[in-house]
């Protein structure tokens, strides 16, 4: 099987969907000509392949980029637009939150907004908090938006293809560090359904629910702590909205213990939602209080030791696990 990072997997999904459906087009700052020409990046080479009619480099204008997606989708196209870094979602958010997410409902179901907003996200590149801010919980809190956060190249390809074919607005959040982590990617045209979690590791003692880059942290922690005889089950949520409650609850019922892990800050973070779902549906199965392992409630700082402090680590997860298996 072919093997490459998530950047190339996304590239392949975009390429295949553009070939399949003439209504699919791309827009965003630097989606055609970027400052980096690495083939590992999501839109590399697509301008050459599809031309400037379908791969639109835009001015620095997030509101217009998002509005373009809203208007083009209701008019029958399939826009895939890019927001360069997650914090700039705030500039696009009027169009996405107040329009894309609400206008189907307001029209009594008559209008459709089949658009994808790809957002590059994640801490770890030393740029500071105006470039690094995980905002998935904001998007998830907004009814009418689907929210996808893949952790592997294969998942990214299958989920992005589903997102592009989805009849509703999808916020597709990509952790930039994953662009460079290789993994197997099927060559076939395959879809991963939106709303289906994936058990990335089977285990019996503690369920770790996580997504995106933190799945890798959870798997490494699981290997380490297995040597001490503690068996983690790692559930990759993959889609925050709609959430696959069934897989989540089955896992917690099996293990009786839950840790939720995400990079975003804690207060109001999506871990709270996962925890509440489990408490409502599987309280009786819990043998210990659940734990959250998240970024602290601070903006992401730039200096290396400060940024490392921010990002949850294997050690943080292991410590939380040990608190509830004792």
Partner 1 sequence: MQISRQKKMEMLRSLLLSRRFEEELTELCKIEHKIPGMMILCTGQEAVGAGVCAALQPEDVIVTNHRSHSHLLAKGADPNALMAEILGKRTGCNKGKSGTLHMAVPEVNALCTTTVVGGGPPIAVGIGFAQQYRQEERVTVCFIGDGAANEGSVHEALNLASVWALPVIFVCENNRYAGAQRYEEHTKAPNIADRAAGYAIPGVVVDGNDALAVYRSALDARARAVNGDGPTLIEYKTYRWRGHGEADCQLYQPKDEIAAWQAMCPIPKLRGDMLAQGVISEDELREMETRIDAVVKDAVRFAEKSPYPEPNEALEDVFAGS
Which residue is catalytic, options 131, 133, 141, 285?
131
Please select the residue that binds ligand TPP; options are 6, 10, 25, 29, rule is CB under 6 A. 29
Q: What Å distances lie between residue 210 and 56, 62, 146, CA to CA?
A: 34, 29, 17
141 annotated active-site: no
Partner from ligand TPP, partner 1, none contacting 111, C-beta within 5 to 8 A by type:
none
Distance, in Å, from the CA atom of 276 to the CA atom of 258, rounded to the nearest integer, reads: 12
Distance, in Å, from the CA atom of 233 to the CA atom of 260, rounded to the nearest integer, reads: 12
Window 33-72: residues binding partner 1 (CB under 8 A):
33-37, 57-64
Please select the residue that binds partner 1; options are 7, 87, 114, 150, rule is CB under 8 A. 87
Question: What tokens appear for 285 in the block?
Answer: 């199965």
Partner from partner 1, ligand TPP, none contacting 77, C-beta within 5 to 8 A by type:
none
Q: How far is the CB of 18 from ligand TPP (least distance, A)?
A: 24
Q: How far is the CB of 128 from ligand TPP (least distance, A)?
A: 11
Is 91 among the residues that bind partner 1 (CB under 8 A)?
yes
Please select the residue that binds ligand TPP; options are 13, 44, 81, 84, rule is CB under 6 A. 84
CB burial of 77-106 (b: ≥16 within 10 Å; e: otherwise) equals bbbbbbbbbbbbbebbbebbbebbbbbbee
Distance, in Å, from the CA atom of 192 to the CA atom of 76, rounded to the nearest integer, reads: 24
Q: Which stretch binds ligand TPP (CB under 6 A): 6-14, 84-92, 136-144, 316-324?
A: 84-92
Site string for partner 1, 236-275 (x = CB under 8 A): ----------------------------------------
Query: Is residue 256 a contact partner of residue 238, using CB atoms and an 8 Å limit?
Result: no
Walk across the sheet containing 206-210 and list its strands: 198-201, 232-236, 206-210, 258-265, 291-295
- Please tell me the total number of residues recorded for the chain in this structure: 326
Distance, in Å, from the CA atom of 18 to the CA atom of 14, rounded to the nearest integer, reads: 6
Q: Which residues are catalytic?
A: 131
What residue ranges bind ligand TPP (CB under 6 A)? 29, 60, 62, 84, 88, 91
What residue ranges bind partner 1 (CB under 8 A)? 29-30, 33-37, 57-64, 87-88, 91, 125-128, 130-131, 296-299, 301-310
């Amino acid at each position: 099987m072919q093997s490459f990072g998530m950047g190339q997997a996304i590239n392949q999904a975009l390429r295949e969907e553009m070939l399949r459906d003439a209504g699919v087009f791309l827009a965003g700052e630097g989606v055609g000509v970027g400052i980096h020409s690495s083939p590992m990046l999501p839109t590399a080479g697509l301008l050459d392949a599809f031309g400037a009619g379908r791969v639109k480099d835009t001015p620095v204008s997030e509101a217009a980029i998002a509005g373009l997606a809203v208007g083009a989708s209701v008019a029958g196209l399939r826009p895939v637009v890019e927001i360069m870094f997650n914090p700039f979602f705030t500039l696009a958010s009027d169009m996405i939150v107040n329009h894309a997410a609400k206008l189907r409902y307001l029209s009594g179901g008559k209008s459709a907004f089949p658009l994808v907003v790809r957002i590059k996200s994640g801490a770890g590149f030393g740029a500071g908090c105006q470039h690094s801010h995980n905002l998935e919980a904001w998007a998830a809190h907004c009814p009418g938006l689907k929210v996808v956060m893949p952790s592997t190249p294969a998942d990214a390809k299958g989920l992005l293809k589903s997102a592009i074919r989805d009849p509703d607005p999808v916020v597709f959040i990509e952790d930039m560090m994953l662009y460079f982590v290789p993994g197997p990617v099927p060559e076939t045209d395959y879809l991963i359904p939106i709303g289906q979690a994936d058990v990335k590791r089977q285990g019996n003692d503690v369920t770790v629910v996580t997504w995106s880059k933190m799945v890798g942290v959870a798997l490494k922690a699981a290997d380490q702590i297995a040597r001490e005889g503690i068996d983690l089950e790692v559930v990759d949520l993959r889609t925050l909205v709609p959430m696959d409650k069934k897989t989540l609850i089955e896992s917690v019922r099996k293990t009786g213990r839950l840790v939720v892990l995400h990079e975003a800050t804690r207060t109001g973070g999506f871990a709270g939602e996962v925890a509440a779902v489990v408490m409502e549906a599987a309280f009786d199965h819990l043998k210990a209080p659940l734990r959250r392992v998240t970024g602290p409630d601070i903006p992401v700082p730039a200096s290396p030791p400060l940024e490392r402090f921010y990002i949850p680590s294997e050690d943080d997860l292991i410590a939380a696990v040990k608190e509830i298996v004792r």
